[in-house]
């Protein structure tokens, strides 16, 4: 079945450093979504990417969808302590079908 893999599993950075997490799917995706989960909280939707090669930005966050629609990345510029949490990618093979989540990348930031 469809698998979504994320690396790294954990990342620790100093405040102000950049951070990137990568997501790879075993199959071509219809779309990919990113979520953030703060410690003790629930996942919160960040963004959806649909088009091949798509790049979207949200302030210091940059999201990319690969040309083959099988991989994606989230890059955070100049991390802040508020960026702490676990970032999940999630994809579906067909629009409207249930999302399959990656295992997440847990980001810790020290000031």
Partner 1 sequence: NAGVTQTPKFRVLKTGQSMTLLCAQDMNHEYMYWYRQDPGMGLRLIHYSVGEGTTAKGEVPDGYNVSRLKKQNFLLGLESAAPSQTSVYFCACRVNYGYTFGSGTRLTVV
Q: Which residues bind partner 1 (CB under 8 A)?
A: 1, 6, 9, 31, 33, 35, 41-45, 48, 88, 90, 96, 98-104
* Phi-psi sector, 40: left (phi>0), alpha (psi -120 to 50), beta: left
Which residue's CB is nearer to partner 1, number 79 or number 86?
86
CB 69 within 8 A of CB 53: no
Give min distance, CB of 26 to partner 1, in A.
13
Closer Cβ to partner 1, 43 or 85, answer by number: 43
Nearest distance in Å: CB 78, partner 1: 26
User: Under a CB-based contact definition with an 8 Å cutoff, are residues 23 and 16 in contact?
Assistant: no
CB neighbour burial string for 18-31, b if at least 16 within 10 angstroms, e if fewer: ebebbbbbeeebeb
Nearer to partner 1 (CB atom), residue 9 or residue 28: 9
Cβ proximity to partner 1, 44 vs 55, nearer residue: 44
């Amino acid at each position: 079945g469809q698998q979504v893999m994320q690396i790294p599993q954990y990342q620790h950075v100093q405040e102000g450093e950049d951070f990137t997490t990568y997501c790879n799917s075993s199959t071509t995706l219809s779309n990919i979504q990113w979520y953030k989960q703060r410690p003790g909280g629930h996942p919160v939707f960040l963004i959806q990417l649909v088009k091949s090669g798509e790049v979207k930005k949200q302030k210091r966050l940059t999201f990319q969808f690969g040309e083959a629609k099988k991989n994606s990345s989230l890059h955070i510029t100049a991390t802040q302590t508020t960026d702490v949490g676990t970032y999940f990618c999630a994809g579906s093979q067909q629009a409207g079908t249930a999302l399959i989540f990656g295992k997440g990348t847990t980001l810790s930031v020290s000031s």
